[in-house]
C-alpha cells in the first residue's frame, strides 16, 4: 500500500521505554519515528509518575525532617503551605525534563509524529493526529507510516475498580498528583509503592490516612523485616491499616465517599463502612496492549493486555519488538530503559549486519525496587521469604543503623541494611550475594551498590573488604557484609 511516511524503526509511545529506544536507534544510525499521542514526551514517568511524585515527596521529606528539628533544639515553627505554588513547582520540574527530551529528539533527528498509533498491517502503522494539551482530541487527520521494524512501548494505565462512582473525590495517581486540595480523611486503595508514596505526600500536608490491602502486608515484594520498621515509623500517619480486607462498594454522598469493606478471608470480619474526603485508587496498572490493533500486525496479546517477548524483546512477529510496562512486571522506568536499548541494538544490528549488536539481550540478574517514602525502602534480588520458599539456604547480615555514626548524627537511626548470601553446601562458605534491602533515609540512592554486587557475583568478603567512606549511610552495606561473614564483632 501507499504510505505518507517511511522509516527503519517506528516506536509507539514516548515514555522512558519509547524515547530511550528511539534515541538509541537514532544514535546507531537508523531513521526513527516516534509516535506519541500526548503533547510532551516522557510518558507516565515524567508527566504523571516517577518525577512529579518525587518533586512532591522531596517537599514532604523536608517538611518531615524540619518537624524533627525541634527535638534537637531548632524550631522552625508550623509550616504554611501554598498549594498552588507547590503545584507550579511540580509542573516546572516536569516542563524542564520533557522540554529536554524534545530537544534531544530534535538533536538526534528523531521525527515525532503526534497522534494515536494503531497497526494496519505487519509493516504499516496508522496515526490519528491529536491536538491539545492532554492530547485526547483527535483531528480526524490520519497518516500512514511504513516501517521495517516496530517497537511497541505503549505503557500502562491505572486500574479503576468497576463499582467506584465517577466523582472528583475518587482519583487515581494522576488525579492525586494534580494536587487540587488537601483532604481531611483520605483512603488509599492498595498498599503498594504508588499508594504509599502519594499517601506520604498528602499526610505530610495534613491528611489523615486509611489504607486497605487485600493481602496480609503492605509493600508486597519487600522484605518483611524492612516493612515492619517502615510501618512502625509511619504508624502516626494512619487511623486504620486494613490488611486482608477488600473494598466491595462505594457511593458518593454529599459529605464524602462512603466505602464498604469485606474481609478477604473466609469467615473474617471487616471494618464498618467509612466516609472519606478523597479516595485514591492505587490497585495496580493494566497494560495498553489491546489498544493498538496489534492483531493486524499478527502480534499476540495476552488476555490481560500484555505482549510476550523473548530476551531480545522480540514479539512473536520477528521484526516487531515490545518493551516497558506493556511486556510485564516489574512496571518500572529503569527496566523499560534497559529493555529499550536491547530492542534498538538488535534492530540496528540486524539491519546493518552487525553481529555483535544483533546479539544484544536483556539478561539483568536483578531489577531494584524503591519506595520513596519516609523512610525509604529499597530492595533488590532475593528476599528472605523468597529464599525460604525456594528452599535456598542463606546466610544473612543485618546491620542496624543505630550502630551507624552517620545515622545517629542525622537523628535518623531507625534504619536497617540487610544482605543475604548463598549458604548452600556448594558455596563452601564463600557464597555469592543473592539479595539485599535497606530501610532508612536515602536507601534508594544506595541500593544500586547491592545491585552491582549481585550482577558481579560478589561474596561477603568482596563487599566487606571494599572500603566505604566514613561516616556515611552507605558504610552500612560493608558492615552488613562483614556481619554475614562473621568478621565483624563490634556491632551488637
Ligand atoms: P509509559 O511511561 O506508560 O509511556 C507510554 C506512552 O505511550 C505514553 O506517553 C502514552 O501516551 C503513549 N501511548 C500509548 N498508546 C499509544 C498509542 N496507541 N499511540 C501513541 N502513543 C501511545 N517507576 C520507577 O522506576 N520509579 C518510580 O519512582 C516510579 N514512580 C511512579 C509513580 C507513579 C504515580 C506511577 C503511576 C508510576 C511510577 N513508576 C515509577 C512507573 C513508571 O512510570 C513506568 O514503569 C514507566 O513510565 C513505563 O514506561 P513505558 O515507556 O513502558 O510506558
- ipTM summary value: 0.99
**Does any ligand 1 atom lie closer than 6 A to the CB of residue 11?**
no
Distance CA 143, CA 285 (A): 30
Distance CA 447, CA 419 (A): 11
**Does any ligand 1 atom lie closer than 6 A to the CB of residue 338?**
no
244 contacts 267 by C-beta, under 8 angstroms: no
Residue 142 CA to ligand 1 centre (angstroms): 24
The crossing angle, in degrees rounded to 10, of helices 83-107 and 16-27 is: 30
- Polymer length in residues for the chain: 492
Query: What are the CB-based long-range contacts (under 8 Å, 24+) for 47-50?
Result: 47/94, 47/98, 48/173, 48/174, 48/177, 49/173, 49/333, 50/333
**Does any ligand 1 atom lie closer than 6 A to the CB of residue 14?**
yes
Supply 231's cell numbers.
Answer: 510501618
Closest CA to 318 of 297, 293, 292: 297
Rg over alpha carbons for the chain, rounded to the nearest Å, is: 24
Q: Angle CA(380)–CA(382)–CA(383) in degrees, nearest 5?
A: 95
The crossing angle, in degrees rounded to 10, of helices 50-69 and 83-107 is: 140
Note down pLDDT in tens along the chain; length 492 residues.
589 999 999 999 999 999 999 999 999 999 999 999 999 999 999 999 999 999 999 999 999 999 989 988 999 999 999 999 999 999 999 999 999 999 999 999 999 999 999 999 999 999 999 998 776 788 889 999 999 999 999 999 999 999 999 999 999 999 999 999 999 999 999 999 999 999 999 999 999 999 999 999 999 999 999 999 999 999 999 999 999 999 999 999 999 999 999 999 999 999 999 999 999 999 999 999 999 999 999 999 999 999 999 999 999 999 999 999 999 999 999 999 999 999 999 999 999 999 999 999 999 999 999 999 999 999 999 999 999 999 999 999 999 999 999 999 999 999 999 999 999 999 998 999 999 999 999 999 999 999 999 999 999 999 999 999 999 999 999 999 999 998 765 554
Q: Which pTM value belongs to this model?
A: 0.97
**Does any ligand 1 atom lie closer than 6 A to the CB of residue 36?**
yes
Supply the residues annotated as catalytic: 470
Residue 335 CA to ligand 1 centre (angstroms): 11
Amino acid at each position: 500500500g501507499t504510505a505518507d511516511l517511511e522509516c527503519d524503526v517506528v516506536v509507539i509511545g514516548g515514555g522512558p521505554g519509547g524515547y530511550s529506544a528511539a534515541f538509541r536507534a537514532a544514535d546507531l544510525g537508523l531513521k526513527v519515528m516516534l509516535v506519541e499521542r500526548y503533547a510532551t514526551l516522557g510518558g507516565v514517568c515524567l508527566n504523571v509518575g516517577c518525577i512529579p511524585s518525587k518533586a512532591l515527596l522531596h517537599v514532604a521529606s523536608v517538611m518531615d525532617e524540619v518537624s524533627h528539628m525541634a527535638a534537637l533544639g531548632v524550631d522552625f515553627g508550623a509550616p504554611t503551605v501554598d498549594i498552588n505554588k507547590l503545584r507550579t513547582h511540580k509542573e516546572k520540574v516536569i516542563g524542564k525534563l520533557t522540554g529536554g527530551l524534545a530537544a534531544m529528539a530534535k538533536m538526534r533527528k528523531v521525527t515525532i509524529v503526534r497522534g494515536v498509533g494503531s497497526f494496519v498491517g505487519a509493516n504499516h502503522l496508522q496515526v490519528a493526529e491529536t491536538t491539545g494539551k492532554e492530547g485526547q482530541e483527535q483531528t480526524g487527520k490520519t497518516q500512514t507510516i511504513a516501517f521495517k521494524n516496530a517497537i511497541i512501548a505503549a505503557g500502562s494505565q491505572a486500574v479503576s475498580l468497576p463499582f467506584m462512582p465517577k466523582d472528583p473525590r475518587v482519583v487515581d495517581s494522576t488525579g492525586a498528583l494534580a494536587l487540587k486540595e488537601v483532604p481531611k480523611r483520605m483512603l488509599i486503595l492498595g498498599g503498594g509503592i504508588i499508594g504509599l508514596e502519594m499517601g506520604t505526600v498528602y499526610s505530610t500536608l495534613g491528611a489523615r490516612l486509611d489504607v486497605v490491602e487485600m493481602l496480609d502486608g503492605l509493600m508486597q515484594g519487600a522484605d518483611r523485616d524492612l516493612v515492619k520498621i517502615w510501618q512502625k515509623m509511619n504508624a502516626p500517619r494512619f487511623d486504620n491499616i486494613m490488611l486482608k480486607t477488600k473494598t466491595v462498594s462505594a457511593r458518593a454522598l454529599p459529605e464524602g465517599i462512603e466505602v464498604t469493606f469485606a474481609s478477604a478471608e473466609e469467615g473474617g470480619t471487616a471494618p464498618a463502612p467509612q466516609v472519606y474526603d478523597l479516595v485514591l485508587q492505587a490497585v495496580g496498572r493494566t497494560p495498553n496492549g489491546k489498544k493498538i490493533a496489534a492483531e493486524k500486525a499478527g502480534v499476540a496479546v495476552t488476555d490481560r493486555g500484555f505482549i510476550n517477548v523473548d530476551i531480545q524483546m522480540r514479539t512473536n512477529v520477528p521484526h516487531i519488538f515490545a518493551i516497558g510496562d506493556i511486556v510485564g512486571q516489574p512496571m518500572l522506568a529503569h527496566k523499560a530503559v534497559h529493555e529499550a536499548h536491547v530492542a534498538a541494538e538488535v534492530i540496528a544490528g540486524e539491519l546493518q549486519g552487525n553481529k555483535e549488536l544483533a546479539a544484544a539481550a536483556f539478561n539483568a540478574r536483578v531489577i531494584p525496587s524503591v519506595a520513596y517514602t519516609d523512610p525509604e525502602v529499597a530492595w533488590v534480588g532475593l528476599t528472605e521469604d523468597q529464599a525460604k520458599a525456594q528452599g535456598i539456604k542463606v546466610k544473612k547480615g543485618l546491620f542496624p543503623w543505630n550502630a551507624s555514626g552517620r545515622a545517629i548524627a542525622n537523628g535518623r537511626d531507625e534504619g536497617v541494611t540487610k544482605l543475604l548470601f548463598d549458604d548452600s553446601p556448594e558455596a563452601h562458605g564463600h557464597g555469592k550475594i543473592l539479595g539485599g534491602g535497606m530501610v532508612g533515609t536515602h536507601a534508594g540512592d544506595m541500593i544500586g551498590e547491592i545491585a552491582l554486587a549481585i550482577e558481579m557475583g560478589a561474596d561477603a568478603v568482596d563487599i566487606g573488604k571494599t572500603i566505604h567512606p566514613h561516616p556515611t549511610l552507605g558504610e552500612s552495606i560493608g558492615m552488613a557484609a562483614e556481619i554475614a561473614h562473621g568478621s565483624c564483632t563490634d556491632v551488637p
